[in-house]
Amino acid sequence: MKYTINDIRSHLKEGKITSFELVKKSIETFEQDKKSALALNAFLEIYDDALTKAKKCDDEISSARSAGHDAVCKLFAEKPLLGLPFAVKDNISVKGKRLTCASKILEGYVAPYSATVISRLEASGAVPLGRCNQDEFAMGSSTEYSVYGPTRNPVNREYVSGGSSGGPAAAVASDQALFGLGTETGGSVRLPASYCGIYGLKTTYGVLSRWGVVAYGSSLDQVGILGHTPDDIAQPLCAMCGKDFYDDTSADLSGKEFLSELTPYNGGDLSKLKIAIPRQFLENKGLDADVEAVFKSTRKWFEEQGAKIADVDIPVLDASIASYYVIALAEAASNLSRFDGIRYGLRVDPGEGYDELYIRTRSEGFGPEVKRRIVIGNYVLSEQFSGDTYKKGMTVRARIQREMAKLFESYDIVLCPTCPTTAFKLGQKVDDPLEMYLSDLYTTFVNLARIPSLSVPAGKAASSGMPVGIQFAGPMFSELKLLKIAKSWDNSHTGCGFPCQGA
């Protein structure tokens, strides 16, 4: 039997299960998995204090229980995520823990403070379970560009888990964590969610603080959440969102609107929902037939619910991937200049002065994909070429933002596949960066437009049995609406959940 966050919370409240048992089970699964020839490699380490933290949660619960039912309810109202273990991508700081961004250049680096998203989750009672694999510096779509080797897909271990947040996605999909934190610059939460058959939310730019999160493309970066059901996404979101003194881009949201029990959109009546489907994504020759088939049945389901669906033309979307890779790489080249062998992690010092130290550290510390991107990023920013590349990229982005805002004056959501294909086999695209970049064909417009989007598990590919994700993208700050629509969907397409051992 499978359970969700709500179920586990009830079990914890009633003493049917302990946080210690949940964490212990995850550790056992992790240890067992490491021995397998086809190890998932979702977690890179389980934090050594995870069990102690879980035990502390259990102590809080038992002392509330001895004070009576009201005390238990009060405790869980104050700490709604009490005792729930979650997975952390290796680019989000947890105080006193290693953080490497799956790169050799951050070897030996220990985070001196926790990211705001982590401290807020901990304040809500959640237990950080461990550090998860990713593509190096979140650059990739398969979690194959990691110094620790790839993360395999729990549905079929011959396949990639998707990237760059493949580690937390696989940890959640394989029931090793209740929910996971990833990061998105161009699709890195939705894509692995789609490949692994779970939910993945990319929030509106500003909803979640980036303090303590390693920057890739700062005008695009957002933390994202991976989970088994819309509720499993909504609750951590509620705990984490809101203004943060340390991040000027953070939006002032109370978060309370996510607190109430998530109910289906408009009481389950979708007949007033207006959905736009961009032709650019469906008439695309890169779209896999299996994904197209699942998309068609999703569309049919919404039609049967009475939703008004229109095919729309947004030609500028054809340029989103090009615009994304120009802007993201330009920002990455600048952000990654801080890794110089002086301030963080690895230092290779041949004793020939600073220039040699920088050069040797960076050439030995960064992997080939990261180097490629730094070179391209610096190229597009160079005085000679920036007019043709960076400025054009920014113009396209401004147009995407305008056209999406205009579209949402008439429609509630955009519906489209999350990715053009399902998960591919390990090694299939690793040597072909352009092919890899095309995996992000349908995700990047969301980051460029700074809007939210939720990838929902929508079915399986007929030929391979691999999961297919469909995304609901909405106007800025429409997370609640997207989750409610997904809740209507989840009611008719029962999601899976975390196994509640011993309950």
Binding site for ligand GLN (CB under 6 A): 138-141, 164, 183-188, 216, 328, 440
| Closer residue to ligand GLN (CB): 162 or 230 | 162
State yes or no: cis peptide before 492, omega within 30 of 0.
no
The sign of the CA dihedral 213, 120, 26, 199 is: negative
Secondary structure class of 309 (helix, strand, coil): strand
Q: Please list the active-site residues.
A: 89, 164, 188
- Say how many C-beta atoms besides its own lie within 10 A of residue 282's C-beta: 16
Contacts for 285 with CB less than 8 Å, ≥ 6 apart: none
| Closer residue to ligand GLN (CB): 190 or 299 | 190
d(CA 131, CA 298): 34
| Closer residue to ligand GLN (CB): 184 or 403 | 184
- Pick from 47, 184, 213, 43: which is nearest to 114 by CA? 213
| Closer residue to ligand GLN (CB): 27 or 328 | 328
Do 227 and 121 touch, CB atoms closer than 8 A?
Answer: no
d(CA 440, CA 195): 12
Structure-token match 């205009």, residue found: 406
How is residue 3 annotated by DSSP?
B
At its nearest, how many Å lie between ligand GLN and the CB of residue 258? 23
At its nearest, how many Å lie between ligand GLN and the CB of residue 91? 9
At its nearest, how many Å lie between ligand GLN and the CB of residue 186? 3
d(CA 412, CA 398): 21
- Pick from 26, 23, 30, 25: which is nearest to 44 by CA? 30
At its nearest, how many Å lie between ligand GLN and the CB of residue 440? 5
Q: Which two tokens stand for residue 216?
A: 């890739």
At its nearest, how many Å lie between ligand GLN and the CB of residue 369? 8
| Closer residue to ligand GLN (CB): 129 or 327 | 327
d(CA 90, CA 74): 34
| Closer residue to ligand GLN (CB): 188 or 320 | 188
Categorise residue 459: left if φ over 0, alpha if ψ from -120 to 50, beta otherwise: left
At its nearest, how many Å lie between ligand GLN and the CB of residue 151? 14
Do 189 and 202 touch, CB atoms closer than 8 A?
Answer: yes
Give DSSP secondary structure letters for 80-139: TTTT-EEEEETTB--TTSB--TT-GGGTT-B-SS--HHHHHHHHTT-EEEEEE--SGGG-
Do 97 and 106 touch, CB atoms closer than 8 A?
Answer: no
Task: Name the closest residue to ligand GLN (Cβ).
Answer: 188
| Closer residue to ligand GLN (CB): 82 or 396 | 396
At its nearest, how many Å lie between ligand GLN and the CB of residue 421? 14
- Pick from 470, 405, 421, 407: which is nearest to 204 by CA? 405
